[in-house]
Structure 1
Amino acid sequence: MRITVVSLLLAASAVLTWFGVRSFDLFSPGRDTVPLVVALAAAWLLFAAAVIALRGVRGRAVVVLILAGSLGIGAAAMTGPPNTSTDSARYAWDGIVANAGISPYAYVPSDPRLDSLRPDWLFPAPQVGADGTARCVGERIQAVPRTGPGDLLCSALNRTRVPTIYPPAAELYFTGVRAVTGPGPAYWPLQLTGLLLSIGTTVMLLFGMRRRGIDLRHAALWAWCPLVASEAVTNSHVDMLGVVFTVAAAFLVTRERYWRGGIALGAAIATKLIPVIAAPALLRRQGWKVTVAAAATFLLLYVPYVLATGIGVLGYLPGYLTEEGYQDGTRFALVSLVAPGGAAIVVAGILLAAVAALTLWKTDPANPWLGQLVMIGSTLIILSPRYPWYALLLVPFVALSGRWEWLAVPIALSVRMLVPSVQLTRVTLIAAVILIVVISLRRAGPGALGRLLRRRPPQGSPAGEGTRTESVTA
């Protein structure tokens, strides 16, 4: 009966995912985000119910259900085009350009010198109306005025007049996908790759948990998570590749493969930069090896692009940080309550440095999951990005640590994207912080603060005690 209940809940999650992908998006003129919010809430409720029901399941059925749910929900998520982001269109274009032998950092997408490379699904021809005026038609299609041949360019890309922002490992990924499929297929190649990477992460978690004595049912917190289906598959964010490398780095370092772990960490950082926040928890033991290997990998991946493009490899990163409000402090939803304007940058920097130091000090090197969870989750709360896919990096460490309460962070970020209200963002983030603190204190029991401030013995706990880590619980 318990297996049947879980199966029905997973089937319902897959159907809801399919319906949401096919029915709702953020690109329709005069769009109403209420249906998306309702669908999101329903998906999270079904997810919670399935995870709770899984507690009563034992034996091999746990692994079968987790893998089946990961495949079924993920497959449903790729039945329609991206519905909340157009980033995967830029990924495809960068791959097409690179396969033509051109550095993706060399030209902006609207440059006329790239006109011969443009597939129709990314750059449809303008339609001429009865009045003779050319217009760009389509939900995801933007008009890009330009001078020279073809004064109007219609594009499915965002930011067509700025260079790419993505680091070299991401660009190699885009290039590899398009080398296999060519420029013709639209969104499904990256969606399929995202599905395979998400299932691969599920398998990696299951093997890693079994080796370390962690309850395999915790893997469902990753495998069935609505954020994974939406952002790794439907919207195909390259953050998924960074997750794979980061989890691999954590497993390698805990097995004392420090050089290999550092290489994996460097590849993760060279995918999206964000995985650097997973590093402090991996540096407690033989950290210099991890650091050297990560830095060398990161730099080596950049070498071919630097030789081809020079300083242009920085792409749009400086402009992006300004655009997102990280240079004047306006993006920090909670920090700006106590330190408005430029002071928010200083306060945010101090908070991040303090969390990183505490993580490095208290993390058990044999079981770094909780330290990584706290570091990544705290960073997301402090920086409060508009984009929930940044939280993909958090979810596998929720699974490894079993700390489900931290899933309140990606929920809050999802609400921020769908309902762009600063006041609502602050409310949801504060609610997430309260939930995390209350549940964490309850888990820790009496004397939690004293244990937090005492230095952990340097030898670490046995690797089989991954579910009993104390560390920086609060």
Structure 2
Amino acid sequence: MIVSPSDLDAVLVLIPVRNEAETIGDVLKVLQNQGLKRIRVVDNGSTDASAAIAQAHGAEVIREPRPGYGQACWSGLQNLPNGVHWILFCDGDGSDDLNELPKFWQYREQADLILGDRRATATGRKTLSPVQNFGNALATTLIRWGWGHRYHDLGPLRLIRRDALDAMQMGDRGFGWTVEMQVRAIEQGLRIQEFPVQYRPRQGGRSKISGTISGCFQAGVIILSTLAYLYFQRANPSQNPTSNTLNTPREISPSPASSASIRVHLRSGFLHPHPILPSTLLILGTAAMGQLGHSDQVPQLWWSVAVMGAGFIWSWRWQSLSPLWFWGVAIATRLLLLPMEPNSDIFRYMWEGLIQNAGFSPYHLPPSAEILEPLRPGWWFRINHADVSAIYPPVTQLGFRLLAWISPSVLLFKLSFVAADLAVCKLLCDRFQPHRALLYAWNPLILYSFAGTGHYDSWFLLPLVLAWFAAESLSPTAQAFSRSALGIGISAGLKWISLPLLGFLAVFPLRKGKWKLALGIPLVGILPFVLSALPYCDSAACPLVPVSSGFVSSDRSAEWVPYLLAQVAPQLATHNIVYGLLLGIVLLGLMARSNTFLGYAESYFFALLVLSPIIHIWYFTWLVPFAVATQNLGTRLVSFSAFVYLVLFYRQSLGDFSWALTPAERTLLWLPLLLGWTWTRFRPSTARPPTAQ
């Protein structure tokens, strides 16, 4: 299609700029070489020569000091000259490939809104950052779910009919301008055309959005909150300022009554909400966390947890949730956290798998052993406690060995932990419904610990949850108890701490006089552990736990009861075995008074954490699956307060290696768990939720 100069006179190009002096001149040259004469550059508070360069190149310059992409666009649309029937939006940084413009002219007869799809080309996808690619995919997916039209991108290069844009009465004055335009186009029934365009890295200057994590984060918040607002407007048509008729433009100023109505709608939406807003907060917080480390960036990480927590807390009151939303957010958040810098433990996992495949036992040789020096990879220096032999149980070691045989890769190990984690989500979702299983699936602590920092505890939680469900099946037969015992045995082979649950499981048949079953349960449960230990033991020794190491016998971290007792009796500060004996006494009491596996298991893990001298942030994940059934307030609260622990990493990055929380920090970490647990235990029974569907 041949386009005459008179046809292009009907097109006005609008370019918002802020500090684009390096690139705006070249952009204007390309536009003018394409035959475009009507070009407006909106200077949105530049501190460089952007405006002067634009004027020198013959562009009309409008100054708009109020910040905001939408504000700049809106100002540029005021007082349009006669004869302008189309508005072309593009960026001033040189990233848009303006040689694609002839394609736009071709679609003018058959479309009202024409969009360039950067994500449809390989160079476009590569140029966009992973966060931008994900954010565009998420936003366009949410538009499809909310409005039924499938976009592929929210790109800046777009051509729209003037009268259609007038009718939209655009209200956004920030970075939500583009997404509002695309949603309004659907609501007005416009003819929409989208086609692939090339996209390049910016040709100069620094991006205000994609150049920084905080910029991406802020843009994501704006875009998705704009979608949430537009969705609420759609649900309440009386609040929608647009219609299907084409009107003259006017600035929107909601009346007090209109604002009050929106507030009422939002309040009622808290109890019976569409999940878009809390999901948005959770995903944005997760996206920010995925770009961070866990040591020197702890303050930023706390902010990301706060954003995630806002969405997570919002979900606590829900009475139902679509499985699509449940799984969409559960999977998306975990994928976003895979790039996060892992904890040093994961390098220990890979090392122990690596040396096993070389014929060495991690129980007999610490990582620092001289004989293992030729095996050291480039990441060996990141292994923690290099002078201590393996502390992980034998089933875990077999898992490490298998993964390291495939590839000693952080991503592979993380994916295996996420796979087990998602399997737990599935079990809890099927048994307790999606809106309650969110307490696990959307939990910031769960997401951080497994997909983010790469701890293997999801491996032991999976067989543990299976054992729990088997023990509390509708028909608790001998076969069900055997399955439960086997699940506990596998769980204990992955993490020692599950072992005491076998004793309680044997009590059930014992109370009914079924002695053979009571004796058989421990035997079934111990079988996975024994079989997996055989490759690591010989006639001379079976050193599965380095009990002589200070790491096991005397080390401390963020403990509670041992810390308090050490203030009274300092000699207890280096004798961890005392708390093992104390825990044994507590377990006998729990066994005597607990009537369900759930009640015993949840109380046991709570007692274990409170009494343990060695505590790490990911240990609190052990409580979360059981809280899905009990809705334990303490577990919900510690899902946030546990992040106080990260101050240890932060201080270490500053050169303080004391590895001890202050009294105030311990209180901030533990008090929410203790108070919430107490409240849950003593609240009226009528307020407690059922334990299953």
Q: Shorter-chain-normalised TM-score: which range?
A: 0.7 to 0.9
37-46 vs 85-94, which deviates more? 37-46
Partner of 1:260: 483
Alignment of 1:260-279 (within 5 A): 260-279=483-502
Partner of 2:436: 218
Query: Does the CA-based 8 Å contact 2:364-2:543 persist in structure 1?
Result: yes
Quick one: which of 97, 104, 119 aligns to 2:377?
119
- 1 or 2, which has the higher helix percentage? 1
Partner of 2:522: 291
**Aligned-pair distance for 1:417?**
4.0
**Aligned-pair distance for 1:305?**
0.6
Counterpart Cα distance in 2 of 1:335 and 1:233: 35
Counterpart Cα distance in 2 of 1:318 and 1:108: 11
Partner of 1:243: 461
Partner of 1:96: 354
252-261 vs 304-313, which deviates more? 304-313
- Residue 77 (str. 1) matches residue 306 (str. 2): no
**Aligned-pair distance for 1:325?**
3.7
**Aligned-pair distance for 1:243?**
0.6
Partner of 2:618: 389
Count matched residues. 397
Query: Does the CA-based 8 Å contact 1:278-1:376 persist in structure 2?
Result: no
Counterpart Cα distance in 2 of 1:19 and 1:417: 17
Quick one: which of 433, 444, 454 aligns to 2:685?
444
Give deviations 1:16-51, integer Å, cap 9, x for gaps. 12212313421xxxx363333333333223211133
Quick one: which of 303, 306, 313 aligns to 2:544?
313
Partner of 1:140: none
CA separation of 1:373 and 1:291: change in aligned 2, threshold 3 A = same
CA separation of 1:331 and 1:441: change in aligned 2, threshold 3 A = closer
CA separation of 1:243 and 1:217: change in aligned 2, threshold 3 A = same
CA separation of 1:216 and 1:336: change in aligned 2, threshold 3 A = farther
Quick one: which of 417, 433, 438 aligns to 1:194?
417
1:222 maps to a residue whose letter is: Y
15-24 vs 222-231, which deviates more? 15-24
Partner of 2:305: 40
423-432 vs 169-178, which deviates more? 423-432
CA separation of 1:235 and 1:279: change in aligned 2, threshold 3 A = farther
**Aligned-pair distance for 1:309?**
8.0
Partner of 1:166: 392
CA separation of 1:68 and 1:317: change in aligned 2, threshold 3 A = farther
Partner of 1:333: 563
Please, what TM-score do these two structures have when normalized by structure 1?
0.74
1:379 maps to a residue whose letter is: L
Structure number with greater Rg is: 2
2:291 maps to a residue whose letter is: R
Query: Does the CA-based 8 Å contact 1:333-1:383 persist in structure 2?
Result: no
Partner of 1:145: none
- Helix, strand or coil at the partner of 2:469: helix
Partner of 2:364: 106
1:415 maps to a residue whose letter is: V
Please, what TM-score do these two structures have when normalized by structure 2?
0.52
Give deviations 1:370-398, integer Å, cap 9, x for gaps. 33212212321232643011122211011
Counterpart Cα distance in 1 of 2:435 and 2:467: 22
Counterpart Cα distance in 1 of 2:310 and 2:497: 28
Superposed CA RMSD in Å reads 3.2
- Give unpaired runs (5+ residues) of structure 1: 124-154, 449-463, 469-474
**Aligned-pair distance for 1:162?**
2.3
- Helix, strand or coil at the partner of 1:311: coil
Give deviations 1:184-214, integer Å, cap 9, x for gaps. x3x111111111111111112223x1xxxx4
Alignment of 1:2-21 (within 5 A): 5-21=274-290
**Aligned-pair distance for 1:316?**
6.4
Query: Does the CA-based 8 Å contact 2:393-2:495 persist in structure 1?
Result: yes
- Helix, strand or coil at the partner of 1:9: helix
Quick one: which of 168, 175, 178 aligns to 2:401?
175
1:25 maps to a residue whose letter is: H
Query: Does the CA-based 8 Å contact 2:556-2:614 persist in structure 1?
Result: no
Partner of 1:458: none
Quick one: which of 366, 380, 383 aligns to 1:157?
383
Partner of 2:604: 375
CA separation of 1:323 and 1:330: change in aligned 2, threshold 3 A = farther
Q: Indicate the percent of aligned positions where both proteins have the same amino acid.
A: 19
Query: Which structure ranks higher in relative contact order (CA pairs < 8 Å, sequence separation ≥ 6)?
Result: 1
CA separation of 1:339 and 1:196: change in aligned 2, threshold 3 A = same
Counterpart Cα distance in 1 of 2:560 and 2:470: 38
107-116 vs 306-315, which deviates more? 306-315
Alignment of 1:12-31 (within 5 A): 12-26=281-295, 31=296
CA separation of 1:466 and 1:330: change in aligned 2, threshold 3 A = closer
Quick one: which of 33, 38, 50 aligns to 2:315?
50
2:591 maps to a residue whose letter is: L
312-321 vs 65-74, which deviates more? 312-321
Partner of 2:446: 228
Query: Does the CA-based 8 Å contact 1:262-1:294 persist in structure 2?
Result: yes
- Give unpaired runs (5+ residues) of structure 2: 1-231, 233-268, 510-517, 649-660
**Aligned-pair distance for 1:331?**
7.3
**Aligned-pair distance for 1:427?**
4.7
- Helix, strand or coil at the partner of 2:683: helix
Query: Does the CA-based 8 Å contact 1:249-1:262 persist in structure 2?
Result: yes
Quick one: which of 667, 670, 678 aligns to 1:426?
667
2:382 maps to a residue whose letter is: A
Counterpart Cα distance in 1 of 2:613 and 2:638: 9
Query: Does the CA-based 8 Å contact 1:330-1:341 persist in structure 2?
Result: no
